[in-house]
């Protein structure tokens, strides 16, 4: 019987300790069960092994409604133009995680409008 070693980790909040890296390097795949934190940490995990992650419950910062509306509209426009998440984030000057959430909702909910995207987002105190 063939065996596989899979790591399950969560709530790293942007920090990947050396002792965790040593364990992850022994695994074929990494499942991150939420609250990754910084995108760089996720990229680091992908260099170690195949990585699969889900969004956690850490809240995305609140912005004034007009700024969120502008962010969603501009992100959709850039996505339709074929731009990737890092490029869109740089253009709208927001975190990649926030832009990724907007684009993911738009891509997975055909016909959704700006208000529909905002209603589906994980935004603290909204």
At 28, phi and psi to the nearest 5?
-85, -25
Task: Give the model's pLDDT for residue 26.
Answer: 92
**Domain residue extents for the chain:** 6-53, 65-120
Q: Enumerate the H helices of the chain as residue ranges.
A: 18-24, 39-48, 65-80, 85-92, 96-108, 114-120
pLDDT tens, residue by residue, 46-94:
788 887 777 666 544 545 556 778 888 999 999 999 999 999 999 988 8
Whether the Cβ atoms of residue 47 and residue 71 lie closer than 8 Å to each other: no
Whether the Cβ atoms of residue 79 and residue 57 lie closer than 8 Å to each other: no
How many CA atoms within 13 Å lie on the side-chain side of 75? Answer: 29
Counting every residue written for the chain, the total comes to 126
Residue whose structure tokens are 């070693």: 5
- What is the chain's mean pLDDT, rounded? 80
E-only strand ranges, the chain:
6-9, 29-32, 50-53
Task: Report the C-alpha gap between 3 and 53 in whole angstroms.
Answer: 22
Whole-model pTM: value is 0.46
Coil/strand/helix, residue 23: helix
């Amino acid at each position: 019987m063939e065996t596989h070693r899979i790591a399950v980790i969560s709530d790293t909040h942007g920090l990947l300790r050396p002792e965790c890296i040593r364990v992850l390097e022994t695994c074929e795949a990494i499942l991150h069960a939420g609250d990754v934190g910084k995108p760089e940490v996720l990229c680091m995990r992908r260099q170690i092994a195949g990585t699969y992650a889900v969004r956690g419950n850490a809240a995305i910062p609140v912005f004034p409604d007009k700024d969120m509306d502008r962010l969603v509209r501009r992100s959709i426009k850039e996505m339709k133009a074929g731009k990737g998440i890092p490029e869109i984030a740089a253009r709208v000057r927001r975190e990649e995680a926030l832009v990724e959430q907007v684009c993911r909702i738009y891509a997975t909910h055909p016909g959704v409008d700006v208000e529909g995207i905002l209603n589906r987002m994980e935004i603290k105190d909204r």
